[in-house]
A and B are shown apart, each in its own frame.
Chain A
């Protein structure tokens, strides 16, 4: 390809980017912080077969919903920090709800991973990707969504690099509910 064509391609890319980026204000805010409601959770079951109830299990608590899979290596590293956050703030109205999007083939491997690391948070099976499809349609992992006690999405984050948990903890501390939910964890 000639230099002229490279230039044209670069111009085209520039056009795409400038159109997409829009005004500098485009990225001026954390968009999901503007008050989007959390989507309805489909009827998922946890590792004990107990059904998850959006109204009962989310309302009144600050919840970090974490999507992961057994084949996702960064997820494995991140989960240790999620467990620490869950244990540190569970008495202050915070919980981690972990959602495995493993398909049926690897479902048997989910519980051993949770047990061998001693994780204390609740784990749901989303075998047919019902929940992740309406939250993160690209299904890239790990994916985290912080939901307020009024079911408002406060923050979302895709991917994990060691150190991300610091920002995650800041978000949690800043959004802990003013009053504790009636029931415990």
Chain B
């Protein structure tokens, strides 16, 4: 057997990256277009380049002493925006290339990993891909705004429709179609329709096996009436036709010919300052027509949700209360969950930053009722504000992500403070969550957590920042019994002047559901990062080390993020 020979397509593929990055080079906000239609337009370019050297723990069988499977991933994202009064044109182009992704073994060429599915996506390169992810044109006249291309929609409190970009977890699904917004006096009418367009190339996650996905059709409308004294009202509705796996090879536009799978409708009412309280209440119904969504019931299924919030500001205290009751709402996302996005989402009432694999079940529950109360006391407004919050949830759903086979009651008190004094910053949050099952033999799951940030100036333009995150989780008894675990995500930062930051990261986890291994020990991860900001429009980061895999929840969506070991260079610039 011959030893494996590496095949590096780096130089060939560098032309792709180079060409794209060149586009992101000197482009200024200039009067670019003379006296033509686009006179006085402004062109803005945001370029984000990232190169990652992945150290892969797996070894090629028979060659355990060689890092054959290590590779380099390079991702570039360019956002171009042309704007002038009354007109905006935007384009997002993403490009990814894998370097050192092939090797010869016994003179046979092997690919270590497949970047994309060639049956669905066409690219002239095996290990590189360029995608025009998003594009839009917005034209506005007095009181009318029309956008064609990629649009987003978020009605009421998101229960009937919530298609938005979730920057936090690198999920960006838009509707490729059109949106019209008409504003006349105190009335705003928004209508939109399009086919879902899932962002193909990921900036934060490894790009492998990229598929085109199956587009879904979403159409919706909202009418909002303001200025009715202290009242504001909205009425909204949306309808959905979801693509199935067997629709993969059909034209996406065909979704408009298919039967509607589900429809949602609701009304929301805002009342400002009544008895010193700001009120909001919303009710929605969701009708499921498709058999897959209605548990096979030919007559369909009706889900509903009620959400309300109230906030009051007596003296130095702010009291915020929100509550919800949902029945069969989350199943609206049944078809899209596999593609990591949701078309609608009920407010979670939760402190999402600490949600675990188990806790995410209540966030994404079909049938859940709950209330959250948060009280902030502004001892020194804007400077020192401690708070206490308690969330109580009754989760009746037993399907989907639920580990348990019994309804449960979740109680989650959280307390914390913010102290912003000059350049000194302290932010602390800590809490304890208990998921108590009705079946007492199944026990309860418990989670204790603490996260915080401390930033202290130390003179001569230097500052020290400490960020802490600790979670400890104890499982009850259930068929999917896992071991208890402890997780930590900490960072120590030295800010040197306005331009430099030096960061030391440390993660620790013995969570059996975490799929990565530490680089400093089986459970211990460490990394160094240098950040350089030569100008306010440019940032460069160089990272070496590892961080752990784990679940991350944001905006009512949870995503498993893989761990990383290796080196990474990121460069963001804006012109």
Contact = CB atoms under 8 A, between A and B. Distances in A.
Interface stretch (B119-127, B381-389, B401-409): B381-389
Interface string B154-188: 11111000101101100000000000010100101
A122 interface: no
Given A118-B381, A155-B536, A76 B25 contact: no
Contacts of A162: 423-425, 455, 457, 463
Contacts of B534: 27
A37 B425 CA distance: 35
B121 to A, nearest CB: 23
B571 A17 contact: yes
Contacts of B345: 105
Interface string B255-281: 000000000000000101000001010
A185 interface: no
B475 interface: no
Interface residues on B, range: 35 or more
Interface string A118-154: 1100000001111001111111110000000000010
Interface stretch (B38-46, B208-216, B242-250, B292-300): B38-46
Contact of B423 (A1, A130, A163): A163
Interface residues of A, number: 81
A128 to B, nearest CB: 5
B22 A20 contact: yes
* Chain B binding surface, main DSSP class: strand
Q: Which of B138, B164, B461, B555 has the most CB of A within 10 A?
A: B164
A21 to B, nearest CB: 7
Interface stretch (B26-34, B328-336, B437-445, B483-491): B26-34
Given A34-B29, A40-B86, A112-B376, A5 B10 contact: yes
Nearest to B383: A80
A172 B71 CA distance: 47
Contacts of A107: 157
Interface in B518-559: 534-539, 554-556
29 contacts: A1-B53, A8-B8, A9-B100, A11-B10, A13-B74, A20-B21, A20-B24, A20-B25, A23-B26, A30-B536, A31-B575, A37-B84, A39-B85, A49-B227, A71-B352, A80-B420, A108-B157, A115-B313, A116-B376, A117-B382, A118-B382, A128-B164, A129-B165, A133-B90, A134-B138, A138-B46, A161-B498, A163-B495, A164-B498
